[in-house]
Structure 1
Amino acid sequence: MNPLRFRRRALAAALTCITLGLSMGAHAQAYPSKPITFIVPFAAGSATDQLARALGQSITEQTKQAVVVENKAGASGMMAAQAAARAGADGHTVLITTNTTQAANEHLYKKLPYDPVKDFAPVTGLGKGGQVLVVPAASPYKSVAELLAAARKSPGKLSFGSGSSSSRVAGEMLKQLSGTDILHVPYKSNPLAITDLLGGQIDLMITDTSTGVPQVKAGKLRALGYSTQKRSAQLPEVPTIDEAGVKGYDMGYWFAAYVPAGTPAPVVARLHDLLVAAVKSAPAKSFFDTAGSEAWTTTPDELAKFQAAEAQKWGKVIKAAGIDPE
């Protein structure tokens, strides 16, 4: 090759790399250039909503840009995930979600309006927690054993509500491992199910602690068991469901952040740093302490691998629970 032509090509390649690097740097420096929208798959007052608002407060303090929380409850989070997937890939629309949309729904529904892997770029994990089995304070059942004895005596008579896939699968796992027949009643969100539980329309539910524990503390609900293998720091006197006699019972949940696929890597990196700092902030710490959950952050790659493992795990649990895709 002509030496002069070779040098020209080398110079052109170098300039391209420099230009690309400057462009990527500009993406990160300019972000966020306008208010950020957090899309939440559940209703206001839910655990995910509370966490999103705490994180948003911190990010606003860090960037001086407003963070708007948009609740799109219903259809087990599918409407919210679809809306987030279709948003502009510039980092200004973020899906603050859970295992419901990213690991469970693909096994619960025959057809999703979004792809939990291909439609999103993982940003970071946000937190992990457990759930609490609750009944109305006036319920005759004082323990998991009493509740399940009644369920066995009258199959199909008792009912449990759920407003998320985590809550639904937790209830189905209880049925499976205890050999009981309890009617499932679906809701758009856990707070709505709590309302009917308080009103006596359903008999029990297994809900996230941020939704259930305040009602327990207020004396309106009675906690019978905790869903993970370790007791809740908020309810240390309440046995785990495993301890209460349903051996092998273990069902937690997690929160994470995603942006639409195609979002520039520098923007993802900048958002990741903002969210990691937000998870460590006072508003988020207050949420985790109140909700009885714990902070948990990851790199985007770590979240992708974790999500893949969780999807496989939830698939096995859902299949074993005998839940047919809708």
Structure 2
Amino acid sequence: MVRRLIALLGFAVCAWSQIASAQDSYPSRNVTIIVPLAAGSGTDIMARVLATGLSAKLGKSFTVENRPGANAITGAEYAARQPNDGYTLMFGGNGTHSANPHLSKSIKYDPIKDFTPIARLATAGAVLLVLPDSPYKSVADLIAAAKANPGKLTYGAPNAGSQIASETIKKVMGVDITRVPYRATPQAMTDVIAGTITMTFVDVAAALSNVTSGKARALVISSAKRSALLPDVPTMQEAGFKDFDLSYWTGLFGPANLPKDVIATLDRTTAEIMNETAMQDTLRALGLEPSYLRASEMPAYVKTELDRWGGFVRDAGIEPN
């Protein structure tokens, strides 16, 4: 699916293919984009789509390198330690920069001090997946089963957002559902489909093909609005969780103290790509909502989101480990 959607950008790539002008010294060689999640996650798909555009626009190869592990902490720590020359970037978001600092005591990076924020690209909700032939047709069904069988239902936690959404349900409804940690979103989806675990929250981009093919059933979406791609899936608010809005966001980062000319080149070029109709259509086809913020807007946004997700963690009663 990823290759097919990237191919849809073909005519836009032709428009982007002019090489950077002679006065632009960056990039003079290929660039690596670290994705701290496994291939097939929504963040990974988004990174590959943007890398296609950056490669065409700037005339050097932008390639994705997946470094999953520890709820995206492994890849983020690696990216933070790289030289601040612009040749190693990272796709981060609510996991790396908003939730993980509140969930882990052993995290070895500061989300504010150790990164240069370049752009926010998209936002999206996560859907709660169960087996299609399970008895659970709504969140109410799940909660009833959890109350009748304390600790026997299980949820997969491939990332911080998934854990927080699931723990919020447990906290608000007073039920005991056992957490099963995963290194990656595809593994959690596979185990839901196999019946190994009861449920998992997965971003729309990663879940879409399994839902539309009937391999999994989506009960709710975590964002305040329904997804245009899954219009029959109600929001958590509609399911009775007042004011609940756990929207994921994805952004482009570099190590701390990136040179100003590098920031300017990436800021300008990413803005041009994000303004392309083809790019916006591709993101929406993936279940992502184009939601661009420029480099000058990012520091305040990252700080606000760090504080907001800290509130989610506290409200869900999650103790950092």
TM over 0.5: yes
Greater Cα shift, 266-275 or 38-47: 266-275
Does the residue aligned with 2:293 lie in a helix, a strand or coil? coil
8 Å CA contact 2:284–2:290 kept in 1: the answer is no
Q: What CA distance in whole angstroms lies between the structure 2 residues aligned with 1:28 and 1:107?
A: 43
Matches within 5 A, 1:167-246: 167-246=162-241
Q: Is the 8 A contact 2:271 2:294 kept in 1?
A: no
Does 1:265 find its partner at 2:260? yes
Give the match's secondary structure for 1:166. helix
CA positional deviation for 1:220? 0.3
Letter in 2 for 1:242: Q
Return 5+ residue gaps in structure 2 as ranges.
Answer: 1-20
1:72–1:281 CA distance, 2 compared to 1 (3 A): farther
The SS at the match of 1:274 is helix
Of 274, 277, 298, which aligns to 2:272? Answer: 277
Q: What is the identity, as a one-letter code, of the residue corresponding to 1:44?
A: A
Aligned to 2:97: 102
Once the two structures are overlaid, the 10-residue window that deviates more, 269-278 or 45-54, is 269-278
Q: Distance in 2 between matches of 1:256 and 1:122?
A: 8
Aligned to 1:60: 55
Corresponding residue of 1:93: 88
SS of match in other structure, 1:76: coil
Local SS of the residue matching 2:91: strand
Matches within 5 A, 1:1-326: 29-281=24-276, 284-326=279-321
What one-letter code is carried by the residue in structure 2 that aligns with 1:201? T
Q: Which amino acid aligns with 2:200?
A: M
Q: Which stretch of structure 1 is more off in the superposition, 285-294 or 196-205? A: 285-294
Native 8 Å contact 2:35 2:66 kept in 1:
yes
Is the 8 Å Cα contact of residues 182 and 188 (structure 2) preserved in structure 1?
yes
Amino acid in the other structure paired with 1:84: A
Cα 1:282–1:67 change in 2 (3 A) is farther
Aligned counterparts of 1:47 and 1:120: Cα–Cα separation in 2: 21
Q: Which stretch shows the higher mean deviation, 52-61 or 300-309?
A: 300-309
What is the CA deviation profile of residues 234-289 of structure 1, one whole-angstrom value per residue up to 9, with x for unaligned ones? Answer: 11112112212233322111001111112111111111112222333466434422
Alpha-carbon distance change, 38 to 216 in structure 1, aligned in 2, over 3 angstroms: same
Deviation of 1:223 after TM superposition, in Å, equals 1.1
Aligned residue identity for 2:121: L
The structure-2 alpha-carbon separation of the partners of 1:214 and 1:31, relative to structure 1 and needing over 3 Å to count, comes to same
Distance (Å, rounded) in 1 between the aligned partners of 2:270 and 2:157: 29
Work out the CA distance in 1 between the residues paired with 2:176 and 2:282.
35
Provide the C-alpha distance between the structure 1 equivalents of 2:46 and 2:278, rounded to a whole number of angstroms: 9
How many residues are paired up?
Answer: 301
Moved more, 238-247 or 114-123: 238-247
Q: Is the 8 A contact 1:51 1:284 kept in 2?
A: no
How many angstroms apart in 1 are the aligned matches of 2:117 and 2:218?
Answer: 35
Rg larger in structure: 1
Distance of aligned partners of 1:183 and 1:62 in 2 relative to their CA distance in 1, 3 Å threshold: same
User: Could you tell me which residue of structure 2 aligns to residue 6 of structure 1?
Assistant: none
Contact 2:122–2:288, Cα closer than 8 Å, also in 1? yes
Letter in 2 for 1:214: S
Aligned-partner SS, 2:71? helix
Q: Is the 8 A contact 1:173 1:249 kept in 2?
A: no
Instruction: Report deviation, 1:27.
Output: 11
- For 2:236 and 2:81, how far apart are their aligned partners in 1? 40
User: Does the aligned pair in 2 maintain the 1:160–1:202 contact within 8 Å?
Assistant: yes
Contact kept? 2:52, 2:62, Cα under 8 Å: yes
Runs (4+) of structure 1 exceeding 4 A deviation are: none
**Residues 96, 255 of structure 1: 8 Å contact kept:** yes
TM-score by length of 2: 0.90
TM-score normalised by structure 1 residue count = 0.88
